[in-house]
Amino acid sequence: MKNLNDYIASYQAQLQKGDILIAYKELVSFVMKLRTDLKRDSSFDYSVTGILHGYLDYTYFYFSNDFLKSKKLKFGLVLNHLEMRFELWLLGNTAEIQKKYWTFLKETKWNKNRMEMPDYSVLEVVLIETPNFDDLPLLQENIEIELNKNLLEISTFLYKNTNF
């Protein structure tokens, strides 16, 4: 059985190769550019937070508008490093809100195949399953198209169906 020193030695060896450092820096830079461009886009009707880094598992930022804030909800645009894909998450502001919205949304098309609430959200949509990082402008365009389509659909559903 490995101990922590063994894991750290393996981690250090991978970092010293350099590929992980370059890949991580480029991935985070891309998400930062996405965030900045969305924040500057006058048609994007959401307030955007700063970039958050997980434990090499997720890079993400939150965004919300007055309606979502009134419902104690927010969206997250997530780069899932483990699956290497882009996702849209709907999150509650507290564990209690998460449970409330999970109960409300678990029978919807977005959660139809889920038996349990996700660890961090109440709804997760894959925006880009297999991103092509060799064409970043096209990737960003595709993310924005899928993001806006899903935001409209989810927000409309919430607006029409939440009276609590």
The pLDDT tens digits for 53-95 are 988 999 999 999 999 999 999 999 999 999 999 999 999 999 9
For residue 62, give the nearest of 71, 73, 74 by alpha carbon: 74
Q: According to the model, what pLDDT value does residue 164 have?
A: 78
- Residue written as token pair 């109960």: 103
Q: According to the model, what pLDDT value does residue 5 have?
A: 97
**CA contacts within 13 A on the Cβ side of 153:** 12
Question: Strand 123-128 vs strand 85-92: parallel, antiparallel, or unpaired?
Answer: antiparallel
- Compute the distance between CA of residue 37 and CA of residue 32 in angstroms, rounded to an integer: 9
- Residue written as token pair 């965004």: 63
The predicted-structure confidence for 76-87, as pLDDT tens digits, reads as follows: 999 999 999 999
- Residue written as token pair 């502001």: 93
How many helices (H) and strands (E) the chain has is answered by 5, 6
Angle between helices 136-161 and 19-40 (to 10 degrees): 50
Q: According to the model, what pLDDT value does residue 46 have?
A: 97
Rounded to the nearest 10°, the torsion over CA 41, 88, 125, 83 is: 120
User: What does each C-alpha distance from 46 to 36, 39, 53, 83 come to in angstroms?
Assistant: 12, 8, 21, 27
Q: According to the model, what pLDDT value does residue 120 have?
A: 95
Which stretches of the chain drop beneath a pLDDT of 70?
none
For residue 27, give the nearest of 101, 68, 93, 80 by alpha carbon: 80
